[in-house]
Copies of this chain bind each other. A is one copy, B any other.
Amino acid sequence: MTPAPDRDTANAEALRRLGAAEPVLLDVRPAGEVVPGFTRDTLLTSGPTLPWADYIGGQRAAVIGAALFEGLAGSEAQAEERLAAGSIKVRGCQELNCVGSLAGPYSASMPVFVVQNRGVGIPAGNFAYCSIYEGTNHRRLNYGVYDQGVHDRLRYVGEVIGPALGEAVRAAGGLALKPIMANALHMGDDLHSRNTAASLLFCRELFPALLAMAASRREAAERVVRALTEDHYFFLRLSMAAAKSSADALTGIEGSSVVSAMAFNCRGFSIRVAGLGEAWFTGPHATVDAVLFKGHSQDEITWMGGESPITETIGLGGFAQAAAFPLQKYQGGSPEVMVKRNLSLYDITVGENPDFRIPFLRYRGTPTGVDIFKVLRTGIHPVMNIGIAGRDGGQIGAGTVQAPPECFQRAAEAWRRRYGDG
């Protein structure tokens, strides 16, 4: 047992580090080129790493699709065989400082956003990575679908969007993401299920570089603009990478009981805790309250992973839902419920975010830094805004989910084992 540090002090430090985080987008590069440890036969997927045999449903399909896309196997059967034999390695995204949307499939050739936490006065400099949004089609690899259309779109993202975007980002000399995120919260985004304003603001920052690109390659610039602005999800991957680079600065704060990551895989929901290193504490699946696209029914809802709750981890998404009343149309709820839910989360967090503020709450900072002991004491669980996957693959809707109590209970037991009764 480690001598018990003061938990409140440790948790205040966690909040300070989140406030001081300065995620900066530096580049867009293929994962295999830029992510340390990402070998050609590596595939990533969301949540704590499982033995291959334990991946089921859409998450298993997404990994197999990634293997085929990358040319690591010539058929599904061969992919299965190589994955079972371990000649294709599957790892949880966060082992490599990546963060996965829904099933979170990554292969070496897929371009990723390269984000560094350049916060001053905190242990920073760490990198985080996130893959690029596949586009508006509801059937996407990250929702467990791999067909010709998905293949073609992934190639388009990898060969057209990624390189052009990388060029623009480098020409811009990198881009500070926090100012964009802070502004977007004043423009109806929660930075999880709605990123409409953030995508436009991001586009605005890149405009000079894109105009320069247009001088020689107008079509490339146009394609980037279209990818950035065609729906409300593009910026999510940047929000996730920013959140991951911010939250990773919490790892190793001795004595802290603040959550440093939240993620699903197909088997359940898990959290990490700042004072407990990189261990995951797992519970069953979250409970869900969803609005489904036309033609879909509740019994189709399935779980195939998701690490986008990294945004909630730093005070966005469900923790900023009162900034994003337009979400009522997309994922349900009323403004009154959104305000009430958002306010309840102040009871389980360490403090208020100094940068992320909610106009409707008189610019109060978002509730930030979930304390596992406050969750257990109040019975209030983190609320997350998420996309909903269907059992036949594809996104079938969106909704809010609540984290299950078990992962907090297990984390609290581990905290007590390590630090005593705090």
Q: Which residues of A pack against B, CB within 8 Å? A: 186-188, 196-197, 200-201, 203-204, 207-208, 210-212, 214-215, 218, 221-222, 225, 229, 325-326, 328-329, 334-335, 359-363
| 17 A-B pairs in the complex with CB atoms less than 8 angstroms apart | A186-B326, A187-B187, A187-B188, A187-B326, A188-B359, A197-B200, A204-B225, A204-B229, A207-B225, A208-B222, A210-B211, A211-B211, A211-B221, A211-B225, A214-B215, A335-B359, A335-B360
Q: How far is the CB of A151 from chain B (nearest CB, A)?
A: 27
Most interface-central of A197, A201, A203, A329 (chain B CB within 10 A):
A197
Most interface-central of A196, A210, A211 (chain B CB within 10 A):
A211
Please tell me if the beta carbons of B211 and A218 are within 8 angstroms of each other in the complex.
Answer: yes
| A211 / chain B contacts, CB cutoff of 8 Å | 210-211, 214, 218, 221-222, 225
Given contacts A187-B326, A212-B214, A214-B215, 18 further A-B contacts (CB under 8 A): A187-B196, A188-B197, A188-B359, A197-B197, A203-B207, A204-B225, A207-B207, A207-B222, A211-B214, A211-B218, A211-B221, A211-B222, A214-B214, A214-B221, A215-B215, A328-B359, A328-B362, A360-B360
> Of all chain B residues, which has the CB nearest A229?
B204
Q: Chain A interface mostly helix, strand, loop or mixed?
A: helix
Please pick, from B197, B212, B225, B325, the residue contacting A218 in the complex, using a CB distance under 8 A. B212
Nearest 5 pairs of A and B residues by beta carbon: A325-B359, A211-B214, A214-B214, A187-B187, A187-B188
A212 to B360, CA, bound (A): 40
A214 to B211, CA, bound (A): 6
> Of all chain B residues, which has the CB nearest A219?
B211
| A200 / chain B contacts, CB cutoff of 8 Å | 197, 200-201, 204
| A214 / chain B contacts, CB cutoff of 8 Å | 211-212, 214-215, 218, 221
| A334 / chain B contacts, CB cutoff of 8 Å | 362
Q: How far is the CB of A322 from chain B (nearest CB, A)?
A: 10
> Of all chain B residues, which has the CB nearest A329?
B363
A203 to B206, CA, bound (A): 13
Given A188-B188, A200-B200, A203-B204, the answer on whether A359 and B326 have CB atoms closer than 8 Å is yes
A210 to B207, CA, bound (A): 10
